[in-house]
Structure 1
């Protein structure tokens, strides 16, 4: 097989996927041939935010440097047909009239958006925003970040807004655009029309010219600039292909589903749980349940909720590792498996868990606040976290099914969380549905295969998924145990924290471990 004159020794085309998560970035090469699909991680680098006097920021220059180093490594691993970039959502950079970046992009966990939603202009309340964008109300949605940002002195010099993957593509190619799966997370995208909402942008007092033309996955984004080619060792003719640049969109594209009615959980720093639909659900019931409608590949809608995911476990591990109080991950999971089941339950989406910090202490404070006996042994804390996540997965999938009028027959759990056998089994037990776990590298696989599809090597979305199901290692979990134990756990949480989980309860009667998701 030859694509643009490039193929490896086995006749497979080689694609480079730049995949940036909340705590690390990777460059992965994917080799695609008839019935074959292989990934090789060629470079990994840290994604370490920096706290400046004005807030928490992303070190985007460091990410760009790591990306260039990774592309150089990719080129040394074989001729590269094209490059694709995916990252998390909602965050952005502002460019001035000369195309210069106006400061490091803010981190979505920065506190500057606190209270912004209550200060929006008339006609831009929660119901009006949902009627247009259909997004879960989260304090870090781009629309709220922008309204906070416009109060800064640099706002008047801003001429172009680029979401994080679009900013990196711009630095690679010089081109300007907005990929739709990421644009749909901003709160300024019309979920029905699939375009920027000029009316809402106007009501908010934002300049329409800030928002660049939209691009669909598979569209060409340009070719490497000469200095980029020199830095990476790749030919200047190397194309950059638009992929589903929101990492969750790429991950969901790589769900190895062979059935039509499936639920998905893209589990990493966040758990994104929901359904793939043909049209958005913009009802008042959906808004009250806090579900989001994000654009997927081929015009699909990712109908889901953001759940605080493996972030809880990773923050606990950071605290324990600093104090030397716990073994490694395998040891923690063994101790969790041996701990008493259903000893304590938390709401993973409690606001106290959002910011970085001493997560074990915050979990203890939540348990005391809700009248529960705190657990202190690290194994017991891990069991509490994983059981609570499994319960949140159940609650979200059931609510999505009720609101969308669907009846999923299986849950596909992809991303780094799919490596956690306890979480996968307990998700099956809690939901009563079989769980297929994997692929762990769903985001990179979606990135690579959307590049390959743009060059005619892969067919439609079902064909893409069949290739993944046939080539990637998957594990299957069957529900076991007494489902009433999970019912009692849900009832305890609802009683102890009124309103916190009401959306899921009412509806019954939603990347790799380093940060898939927002």
Structure 2
């Protein structure tokens, strides 16, 4: 592949909630430079806003810091930006912000979400989507109600779009990943104009949309002076932070899945065709090459571990003596389950009495792994293939014991990348978009280094099958897990 000089780098920028991260990465996956800068916002009840000017200030600082570590001979070959999914604002024709940024979890638009759902019911049903109050389309309707005088001259911008406009010197096309929650039809690859008309939204509000990985402009001289990125550097259309993390995991071939275990559990995979989920607990983004990226987010996860992080290695060692645990946990971080089943009323539980702190810790770790096993069974039930190793990322991947336990519960080989985050995913996407001679999976596999490969212990999966089935029974008994899903998981999980 034409990778250019060995010291060439691609820059990935992740605009998050609490800060911006930037990485400069070589074609071989070496992180040549990194930078970060904080972000602050305004929270009042359901309101959560941030200053778009603050986004750009933090992006410039993070990029400068990352490039300060890069030796002068290195050539920056491209840059891509990801941001939080569903964060949106209105800008003027020149790309300058007209409103504050409504963040991904701003909760002021439930009425607008219902209106958007009703206006496009047939379309959303065909696409397997349901408009939520946190989605950008609901927030756009809220902004339209609050700022009606702006509509004739305004343009929608997602969080990353604002940064791209500052990089290139003016508005550029948005990417289809960020546009998904604004109602973009990923199958037709078009805005649903009829739905917008029913909602009273003018066509002029909606920007041109391109696939992620498309070059949308170049870094301007003004942006170069602020960020340290060389003027003329290609700017590549990005993806949402969740999709960026998937790219950063290296799991981009059809049949591969990335399990992200942090505060909660997120499962993301790759399919050749879109997955239709009648329950609506999974939906798909579009990959840069046209494949599909289905995913779902559970409410179980490491957020239930209340011990001091410094004490976790000791608890892991104790937990290894309890396989399986004498207790059975359904470790919800908060009320309500979202995936692999929908149960807003679900609550976490612990059945049985642990024999001690090690046994209790074991029950929590194993409970998360059982839900992960159920989730993989669920995606197979929907027709998705699950081939090859599972990639583990997220904060929990730092626990060697938990990775081994999860591999045993799943009965699958596991790979743990050396670095796996959204900024790395954007560096991968920038390389794919500017090199033009390789598939996204090839580029990702060349740039994402594997830190560890974990093989399941022979016969260990069967040891955990009985408690796994007991959890299925209990979730079904409480009316949360549909009987047909439980039956499939018992047979194929």
User: Aligning the two structures, in what range does the TM-score lie when normalised by the shorter sequence?
Assistant: 0.7 to 0.9
Secondary structure of residue in 1 paired with 2:166: helix
Q: Give the whole-Å Cα distance in 1 for the aligned partners of 2:367 and 2:409.
A: 10
From the superposition, tell whether residues 227 and 468 of structure 1 become closer, same or farther in structure 2 (CA, over 3 Å).
closer
Q: Please list the CA deviations of residues 480-500 of structure 1 after superposition, one character each: whole Å capped at 9, or x if unmatched.
A: 34221222123223334x226
**Gap change, CA 1:141 and 1:382, over 3 Å in 2:** farther
Q: 1:212, CA displacement in angstroms?
A: 0.6
Tell me, which stretches of 5 or more residues in structure 1 are unaligned?
318-325, 354-364, 510-518
1:416-451 per-position Cα deviation (integer Å, ceiling 9, x unaligned): 443233443343333333322224425333322322
Q: TM-score, normalised by structure 2?
A: 0.81
- 1:279 aligned counterpart, secondary structure: coil
Q: Name the SS for the 2:24 alignment partner.
A: strand
Tell me how far 1:129 sits from its aligned partner: 1.5
Q: Hey, what does 1:37 align to over in structure 2?
A: 29
The answer (yes or no) to whether the contact 2:164–2:171 under 8 Å persists in 1 is yes
Aligned equivalent of 1:414 = 393
Q: Does 1:499 align with 2:480?
A: yes
1:345 and 2:330 are equivalent in the alignment: yes
2: CA distance between counterparts of 1:294 and 1:454? 18
Contact map agreement 1:2 1:13 (CA 8 A) in 2: no
Counterparts in 2 of 1:151 and 1:312: CA distance versus 1, 3 Å = farther
* Farther-moved stretch of structure 1 (485-494 vs 48-57): 48-57
> Aligned partners of 1:378, 1:493: CA distance in 2, in Å?
25
Residue 84 of structure 1 deviates from its aligned partner by 1.6
Q: TM-score, normalised by structure 1?
A: 0.78
Structure 1 residue 28: deviation in Å?
0.8
In the other structure, the counterpart of 1:397 is: 376
* Cα 1:437/1:293, change in 2 over 3 Å: same
The reply to whether residue 135 of structure 1 matches residue 129 of structure 2 is yes
SS at match of 1:299: coil
CA RMSD of aligned residues (A): 3.6
Query: Structure 2: where are the runs of 5+ without partners?
Result: 339-345
Residue deviations 1:127-183 (CA, integer Å, cap 9, x gap) = 642314x33664422233333443323674461111111121112212322112222
| Contact kept? 2:328, 2:467, Cα under 8 Å | no
- 3-state SS in 1 of match to 2:387: coil
Report what 1:474 is aligned to: 452
- Listed one character per residue, the Cα deviations across residues 223-276 of structure 1 (whole Å, up to 9, x for unaligned) are 223332222344332332223x22332333344459753332244455331431
The equivalent residue for 1:147 is 141
Residue pair 1:415, 1:443 contacting (<8 A) in 2 also: no
Per-residue deviation, 1:201: 2.5
Give the aligned partner of residue 331 of structure 1.
311
Counterparts of 1:374 and 1:171, CA distance in 2: 57
Give the 3 Å change call, closer, same or farther, for CA 401–213 of structure 1 in structure 2: same
Distance 1:273 1:485 in 2: 22
Q: Deviations over 1:379-415 (max 9, x none)?
A: 8886665444323322222111111253535322234
